[in-house]
């Protein structure tokens, strides 16, 4: 049932990087499982650029190449993103011969911005909230990305993860089939946080096609949140990509900052897993659903690890720098990063 991927990485070998996208490990969280209810985490930070977003980024680039939209050593890819999509797009696109510009809210963690610069992205910062608000005139990042790219369609390509069906397809064609195989078709509940809705609609649609009884649980963040990658859908309209297939969702859970950070701590202590904030949210939702389900196979998407969040964890009194370093040392699940 467990499928560990190899963890070494060479940035000089393009095919190697591309081949490493997907096939992430599914790990049982033994301190949460019971004899009849097994709880699993899909560790998406085993993707080469460290998050679930490698999948969407690669599919969007690959499909733009197929349509001859991108020209090697000429095209510039521009995208509004609060972090992981930017890292994934920059990592993959620069390997393939494209420049990347990222429009990013200034509140995003310094670690994330440093990684983007290191990978070669040009950053445009805006004073938006952490998650871009979708909808005309409400989001500076999206508006600025359009303002830069629209007048120069010969040079700029904006994949637009909020509308691009390749985002959905990446999960329909990779995340969903992997979970089905890794659980030998036994998955009963699928949990993921939602940003664009690509992960939930793609994975959820695939799993329901295999077994319509699989329950698909969507996690949103509380209002005014600190959970990078997630959104609150009252603060921010649902992206077009999500709306297209929203009917796949069976249940909603709203994660708070407090509970999510508490779970980050518990996962580090009980499972030796140093996770990012949104994995704490997913864990919290799985525990909530355990109250009404005493058997089954739960699978939650753990979208990224804790290495980009030392400063946030410190600010929020989750881990002191000393505790953080101790967890970093003890973590059993941290493959080498592609960008160090």
Ligand X SMILES: Cc1ncc(COP(=O)(O)O)c(C=O)c1O
In the complex, the residues that contact ligand X under the rule CB under 6 A are 51-53, 84, 192-199, 228-230, 276, 278, 301, 303-304
Q: Give, as one character, the DSSP assignment of residue 30.
A: T
> In the complex with ligand X, which residue's Cβ is closer, 32 or 162?
162
When the beta carbons of 75 and 216 are compared against ligand X, the nearer one is: 216
* Residue number with the smallest Cβ distance to ligand X: 229
Q: Least distance to ligand X from the beta carbon of 56, Å?
A: 6
Q: Which is nearer to ligand X, 155 or 177 (CB)?
A: 177
DSSP states of 251-267 = EEEEEPHHHHHHHHHHH
Least distance from C-beta 90 to ligand X, angstroms? 15
In the complex, least distance from residue 196 CB atom to ligand X, rounded to whole angstroms: 3
Residue among 90 and 278 whose Cβ is closer to ligand X = 278
Q: Residue 94 and residue 186: Cα distance in Å, rounded?
A: 39
CB burial of 11-31 (b: ≥16 within 10 Å; e: otherwise) equals eeeeeebbebbbbbbbbebee
Q: Tell me the CA distances in angstroms from 291 to 45, 213, 288, 314, one per residue in order.
A: 28, 19, 6, 31
Residue 52 CB-half CA count within 13 A = 31
159 vs 229, beta carbon nearer ligand X: 229
- The radius of gyration of the chain from alpha carbons, rounded to an integer in Å, stands at 19
Query: CA–CA separation, 201 vs 184, rounded Å?
Result: 21
In the complex, what is the shortest distance from the CB of residue 164 to ligand X, in angstroms, rounded to a whole number?
11
What is the closest distance, in whole angstroms, from the C-beta atom of residue 48 to ligand X in the complex? 16
Q: How far apart are CA 205 and CA 250, in angstroms?
A: 12
Least distance CB 55 / ligand X (angstroms): 9
Which of 24, 303, 37 is CA-nearest to residue 174?
24
Is the Cβ of residue 32 or residue 202 nearer to ligand X in the bound state?
A: 202
CA 39 to chain centroid, in Å, comes to: 19
Nearer to ligand X, 16 or 256 (CB): 256
Q: Report the alpha-carbon distance of residue 268 to residue 318 in Å, rounded.
A: 11
Instruction: In angstroms, give the least distance from the CB of 276 to ligand X.
Output: 6
- Do residues 194 and 220 lie in contact, with contact meaning Cβ atoms separated by under 8 Å? yes
CB of 282 to ligand X, least distance (A): 6
- Judged by beta carbon, residue 99 or residue 313, the one nearer ligand X is 313
């Amino acid at each position: 049932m467990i499928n560990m991927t190899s963890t070494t990485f060479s940035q000089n070998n393009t095919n190697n990087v591309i081949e490493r996208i997907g096939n992430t490990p599914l790990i049982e969280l033994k301190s949460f499982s019971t004899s009849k209810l097994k709880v699993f985490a899909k560790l998406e930070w085993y993707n080469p650029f460290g998050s679930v977003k490698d999948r969407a980024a690669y599919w969007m680039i690959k499909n733009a190449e197929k349509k001859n939209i991108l020209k090697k050593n000429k095209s510039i890819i521009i995208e509004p993103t609060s972090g992981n999509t930017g890292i994934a797009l920059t990592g993959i696109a620069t390997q393939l011969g494209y420049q990347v510009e990222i429009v990013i809210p200034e509140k995003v963690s310094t670690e994330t911005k440093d990684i983007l610069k290191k990978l070669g992205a040009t950053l445009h910062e805006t004073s938006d909230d952490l998650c871009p608000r979708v909808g005309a005139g409400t989001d500076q990042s999206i508006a600025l990305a359009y303002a830069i790219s629209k007048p120069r369609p010969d040079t700029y390509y904006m994949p637009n993860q909020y509308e691009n069906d390749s985002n959905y397809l990446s999960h329909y064609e990779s995340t969903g089939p992997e979970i089905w195989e890794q659980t030998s078709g036994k998955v009963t509940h699928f949990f993921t946080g939602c940003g664009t809705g690509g992960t939930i609609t793609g994975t959820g649609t695939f799993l329901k096609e295999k077994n319509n009884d699989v329950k698909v649980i969507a996690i949103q963040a509380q209002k005014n949140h600190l959970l990078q990658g997630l959104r609150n859908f009252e603060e921010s309209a649902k992206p077009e990509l999500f709306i297209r297939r929203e009917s796949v969702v069976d249940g909603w859970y709203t994660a708070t900052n407090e509970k999510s950070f508490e779970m980050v701590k518990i996962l580090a202590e009980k499972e030796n897993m140093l996770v990012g904030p949104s994995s704490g949210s997913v864990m919290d939702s799985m525990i909530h659903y355990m109250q009404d389900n005493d058997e089954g196979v739960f699978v939650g998407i753990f979208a990224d690890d804790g290495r980009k969040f030392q400063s946030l964890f410190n600010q929020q009194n989750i881990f002191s720098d000393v505790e953080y370093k101790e967890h970093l040392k003890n973590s059993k699940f941290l493959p080498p990063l592609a960008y160090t």
